Chain A
Amino acid sequence: MRVNGAAESLDVEPWVSLLDALRDRLGVTGPKKGCDQGACGACTVLADGVRINACLALAVQYDGKEITTIEGLATGDDLHPLQAAFIRHDGLQCGYCTPGQICSAVAMLAEHRAGMPSAVTERSGELDEAEIRERMSGNLCRCGAYNGIVDAIKDVAGQEAR
């Protein structure tokens, strides 16, 4: 598979999750192990641009895919707009959920641009607070930094719209 643009050749047992392969075999520790059961979203990564829970993904199922983690979002020292916005809006406290939140938000904005409906709106409308909260509901933050997270995403969505 390719991880953050680099080709990686891995020999893993079939029961190794994508999350464990990234963290323990490749040293890519941005994706976090929170619940390890698909409930918290701290492990969110992008597989060919699609957000998934790496803890429920067997690494063998992602053979040949392009995996992007938080480490792959910045360009050199230039942060991804969402990374910068999370800092600007205090979209974190302890930071444990943040890599998953930001990866999830990157894909969420792409889904919205592509016209993906949500439970809030059947037609993909403006990304207001209700939309952002619904579309980001797979990422929990136990510090409760949700207000900052929503503000950060709204900020970047607004920049894109302009």
Chain B
Amino acid sequence: MKPFAYVKPADVAGAVRAVSDEPGAKFLGGGTNLVDLMREGVERPDTVVDVTGLPLDTVDQLPGGGLRIGAMVRNSSLAADERVRARYPMLSQAILAGASAQLRNMATVGGNLLQRTRCPYFYDPAAACNKREPGGGCDALGGFNRSHAVLGVSGSCIAAHPSDMCVALAALDAVIEVESVRGTRRIPMTGFHRLPGDTPEIETELAPDELVTAVELPPAPFAARSRYRKVRDRASYAFALVSVAAALEVRDGAVTAARLALGGLAAKPWRAHEAERILLGGPASEESFARAAEAELAGADVRPGNAFKVHLARATIVATLRELNTGKGTA
């Protein structure tokens, strides 16, 4: 690992100042992703600003029924929070579907938002990767791309976003609060991550010196009936091939509220706006669920290794909506 300086500020003002003063500085949360990437030589900060000592480690009730989640809350604490489990079950389920207990105990909510892709070519400094080395090319395009994205991809990058938590946050219309020496601003979760275009190295709207301080969940009564469903190569401790975060409210056979976001399919947690549009007001039927899924996936751009994801996503979307509609799980 390249040597670096380490600082551990006690407050947010000190943390954002430390990064603002030093162009080669990076914030460090639980370390589950950044330390790994530093060891691989993919990330090479000169200074690491440890933000785990900041007083941002509580989940607080917001007036009006929402929740404010401090960026330093550990993933396991958020998944166990009774309010999250009761009001936003898809979020607790998404976190518990990811990584291992050890990693969830370490990982912070802010760090999870900035988790980087698991594309093996991104991790391998000997491979061509436009994300790691802009203009270097992309070995995934014609390589082993079974895990890669099919929505919103570009000719320069087909990496998939790896987070489970982020998929649920996108479905729940979370808002990300960030702070820098210039002040505080709020970014909607659905606009927080970027598609690759021809700049896959820029993954979010966050400026390099901005610190994620909190995630706010707006009240969403219908989300009490929500579900995160993940399909992967083994039963536990694997990244998603496809995942679905969904909430569905049905009255008299018609869909009165629908939320749908997809994981494993794009460079960002993919909010399925087109599918939601079709679902809303329509019948809560298998046909309608399938039509919504197909419309969302119509723009898929596949490669030989990941073409299977379109069918898998369609089936998983329909199964998840069916389960929410009938209350019965199906294979």
Contacts and interface: CB of A to CB of B under 8 A. Distances in A.
Contacts of A104: 101-102
A118 interface: yes
Nearest to B123: A37
B164 to A, nearest CB: 10
Contacts of B38: 15
A66 interface: no
Given A13-B3, A56-B106, A122-B92, A138 B101 contact: yes
A137 B52 contact: no
B236 A14 contact: no
B222 to A, nearest CB: 18
A68 interface: no
Interface stretch (A21-29, A47-55, A71-79, A149-157): A47-55
Interface in B72-103: 76, 79-80, 85, 89, 92-93, 96-97, 99-103
B102 A138 contact: yes
A161 B167 CA distance: 37
Interface string B39-59: 110000000101010000000
Interface of B: 1-6, 8, 28, 30-32, 35-36, 38-40, 48, 50, 52, 76, 79-80, 85, 89, 92-93, 96-97, 99-103, 105-106, 235-237
A128 interface: no
B101 A15 contact: no
Contact of A138 (B36, B100, B235): B100
Interface stretch (A3-11, A87-95, A108-116): A108-116
Contacts of A15: 1-4, 38
The 3 A-B residue pairs whose C-beta atoms are closest, nearest first, are A138-B100, A14-B6, A137-B236
Contacts of B236: 119, 133-134, 137
A60 B4 CA distance: 12
A135 B102 CA distance: 10
A138 B31 CA distance: 16
A58 B31 CA distance: 8
B23 to A, nearest CB: 19
A17 interface: yes
Nearest to B6: A14
A39 B134 CA distance: 28
Interface residues of A, number: 34
Contacts of A58: 6, 28, 31, 35, 48, 50
Interface of A: 13-15, 17, 36-38, 41, 44, 50-53, 56-58, 60-61, 104, 107-108, 111, 115-119, 122, 133-135, 137-139
Contacts of B32: 38, 53, 56
A52 to B, nearest CB: 5
Given A53-B103, A58-B28, A58-B35, 15 more contacts: A13-B3, A15-B38, A37-B40, A38-B102, A52-B105, A52-B106, A56-B30, A104-B101, A111-B101, A115-B80, A117-B85, A118-B96, A137-B235, A138-B100, A138-B102
Contacts of A133: 235-236
Contacts of B30: 56
A50 B5 CA distance: 27
B6 A116 contact: no
Contact of B102 (A37, A53, A116, A117): A53
A139 B243 CA distance: 24
Given A53-B32, A58-B35, A14 B102 contact: no
A61 B6 CA distance: 10
Contacts of B101: 51, 104, 107-108, 111, 135, 137-138
Contact of B50 (A37, A44, A61, A138): A61
Contacts of B105: 50-52
Given A51-B101, A61-B31, A111-B101, A138 B106 contact: no
B102 A17 contact: no
Contact of B96 (A60, A61, A119): A119
B85 A122 contact: yes
A66 B207 CA distance: 36
A128 to B, nearest CB: 14
Given A104-B101, A138-B101, A117 B35 contact: no
Given A104-B101, A122-B85, A57 B6 contact: no
Nearest to B40: A37
Nearest to B35: A56
A117 B5 contact: no
Given A15-B4, A116-B80, A122-B89, A41 B102 contact: yes
